[in-house]
């Protein structure tokens, strides 16, 4: 018995002659049992480890794959090393030991802890099959089903999975069963979180007042949703055109590629307000250049009111024909002279660009 072993004897035994046989005799170890041994030497056979009284074993290279070259190079005589009895005999009739199998229990516990605490683990992609992607956590084989891969939709192409072989990636643990040697991982939640972070970052970088290219994703009764680079913004119906819009479908359809103006950005609620009409010239800014007082122009009656008729001269520009300017005779209702949707000729009487008003005359256009 070595001196250090004697120092660890129970206090009730003061002399070696008083020790029972089960303490003095060599211990019997069972295959699969893990223990801490002491490194005797490292040679061509592997790592020679003392695991008790008069017992040494060898860890061959195939049982220490979990050890990096750097870790193996640091091992020296007297170091403590966790090993497991494999069974059988190695060189010099020494028992076969394994570092990998001893560590495996610890690795399974790490996986269980990650599952319990919703923590991430890093695993290496080793291959793929019809069901998903094969990975390895340390020396434990795991699997990532297609439904848990970082893919938008559908089954990823085999060549894309082939490109990932050898990569080390973060995963969530969704199932751990050491008895069944079963490990199921997922990267979908990580991918979604990353997408959300990138989306928020993109939104925060959008500047109000800028014009951006986009694609109409969907059209609703209140406006159109436009994708502007992975995030969607809303073009309200009032911002689709300078003119009156009855239905957004009259201006845009899904799939249209358009330029939009950023009106407002709300990063907290992840909302973006866009405008289509503000990417186009404001019609009223140049109305005095296109219309002259006394000029006779053509328009369409858009609405009738008790005091007169509204006539659209162009998209976004409407003028009013007052009831007194409809006919030389007295008129009590605009319906007596014109109807909604009618194309008419009118004379420009006044232009007020600042207040966006044009006064028109129906009767004077015909010299009445």
Q: What single string gives the DSSP state of each residue in 77-126?
A: TT-EEEEEEEEEE-GGGPEEEEHHHHHHHHHHHHHHHHHHHT-EEEEEEE
Asked whether residue 195 carries a pLDDT value surpassing 70, the answer given is yes
Asked whether residue 198 carries a pLDDT value surpassing 80, the answer given is yes
Portion of the chain with pLDDT greater than 70, in percent: 88
141 and 78, same domain (yes or no): no
265 and 325, same domain (yes or no): no
- Mean pLDDT computed over 38-66: 87
Contacts by residues 69-76 (CB-CB < 8 Å, ≥ 24 positions apart): 72/42, 75/39, 75/42, 75/47, 76/39
Asked whether residue 291 carries a pLDDT value surpassing 70, the answer given is yes
- Mean pLDDT computed over 295-309: 95
- Mean pLDDT computed over 251-257: 94
Contact 123, 168 (CB under 8 A): yes
Asked whether residue 14 carries a pLDDT value surpassing 50, the answer given is no
Query: Minimum mean pLDDT among 281-285, 295-299, 300-304: which range?
Result: 281-285
| Residue 13 resides in a domain | no
228 and 180, same domain (yes or no): no
pLDDT confidence of residue 206: 92
| Residue 327 resides in a domain | yes
Q: pLDDT class for 113, splitting at 50, 70, 90?
A: very high
| Residue 21 resides in a domain | no
Alpha carbon distance 183, 142 (integer Å): 5
Last residue of a domain, one of 279, 308, 325: 279
Mean pLDDT across the chain: 86
Contact 298, 366 (CB under 8 A): no
- Mean pLDDT computed over 112-141: 93
Tens digit of pLDDT for each residue in 131-169? Answer: 999 999 988 999 999 989 986 544 456 678 888 999 999
262 and 310, same domain (yes or no): no
Tens digit of pLDDT for each residue in 317-341? Answer: 999 999 999 999 999 999 999 999 9
Asked whether residue 71 carries a pLDDT value surpassing 70, the answer given is yes
95 and 47, same domain (yes or no): yes
Last residue of a domain, one of 228, 255, 279: 279
| Residue 107 resides in a domain | no
| Residue 303 resides in a domain | yes
| Residue 350 resides in a domain | yes
Distances from the Cα of 41 to the Cα of 56, 69, 82, angstroms: 11, 16, 15
Alpha carbon distance 97, 67 (integer Å): 14
| Residue 201 resides in a domain | no
Q: What is the CATH number of the domain that holds 84?
A: 2.40.50.140
Give 61's DSSP letter. G
250 and 211, same domain (yes or no): yes
- Between 276 and 230, name the one with better pLDDT: 276
259 and 244, same domain (yes or no): yes
Render 173-203 in DSSP notation, one character per residue. EEEEETTTTEEEEE-HHHHHHHHHHHHHHHH
155 and 211, same domain (yes or no): no
Alpha carbon distance 97, 74 (integer Å): 19
Last residue of a domain, one of 279, 311, 339: 279
pLDDT confidence of residue 38: 92
358 and 291, same domain (yes or no): yes
pLDDT confidence of residue 130: 87
84 and 143, same domain (yes or no): no
| Residue 24 resides in a domain | no
What is the tally of structural domains in the chain? 4
Token pair, residue 174, equals: 């969704």
pLDDT confidence of residue 158: 65
Asked whether residue 190 carries a pLDDT value surpassing 80, the answer given is yes
Query: Which residues span the domain enclosing 240?
Result: 207-279
pLDDT confidence of residue 13: 37
Contact 188, 140 (CB under 8 A): no
């Amino acid at each position: 018995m070595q001196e250090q072993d004697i120092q660890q004897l129970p206090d009730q035994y003061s002399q070696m002659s008083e020790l029972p046989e089960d303490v003095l005799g060599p211990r019997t170890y069972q295959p699969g049992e893990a223990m801490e041994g002491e490194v005797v030497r490292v040679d061509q056979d592997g790592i020679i480890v003392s695991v008790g009284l008069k017992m040494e074993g060898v860890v061959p290279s195939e049982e220490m794959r979990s050890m990096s070259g750097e870790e193996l190079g640091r091992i020296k005589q007297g170091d403590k090393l966790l090993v497991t009895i494999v069974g059988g005999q190695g060189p010099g009739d020494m028992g076969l030991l394994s570092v990998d199998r001893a560590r495996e229990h610890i690795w399974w516990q790490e996986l269980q802890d990650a599952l319990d605490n919703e923590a991430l683990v890093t695993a290496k992609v080793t291959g793929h099959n019809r069901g998903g992607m094969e990975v390895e956590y340390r020396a434990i084989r795991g699997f990532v089903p297609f439904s848990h891969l970082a893919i938008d939709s559908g089954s990823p192409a085999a060549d894309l999975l082939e490109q990932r072989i050898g990569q080390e990636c973060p995963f969530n643990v969704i199932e751990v069963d050491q008895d069944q040697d079963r490990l199921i991982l997922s990267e979908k939640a990580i991918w979604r979180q990353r997408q959300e972070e990138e989306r928020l970052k993109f939104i925060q970088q959008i500047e109000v007042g800028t014009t951006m290219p986009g694609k109409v994703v969907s059209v609703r009764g209140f406006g159109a949703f436009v994708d502007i680079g992975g995030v969607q913004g809303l073009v309200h119906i009032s911002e689709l055109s300078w003119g009156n819009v009855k239905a957004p479908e009259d201006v845009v359809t899904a799939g249209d590629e358009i330029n939009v103006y950023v009106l407002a950005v709300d990063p907290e609620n992840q909302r973006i307000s866009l405008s289509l009409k503000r990417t186009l010239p404001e019609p009223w800014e140049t109305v005095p250049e296109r219309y002259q007082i006394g000029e006779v122009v053509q328009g369409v009656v858009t609405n009738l009111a008790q005091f007169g008729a509204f006539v659209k001269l162009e998209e976004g520009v409407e003028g009013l024909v007052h009831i007194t300017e409809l006919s030389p005779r007295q008129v009590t209702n605009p319906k007596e002279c014109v109807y909604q949707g009618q194309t008419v000729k009118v004379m420009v009487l006044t232009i007020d660009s600042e207040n966006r008003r044009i006064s028109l005359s129906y009767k004077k256009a015909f010299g009445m």
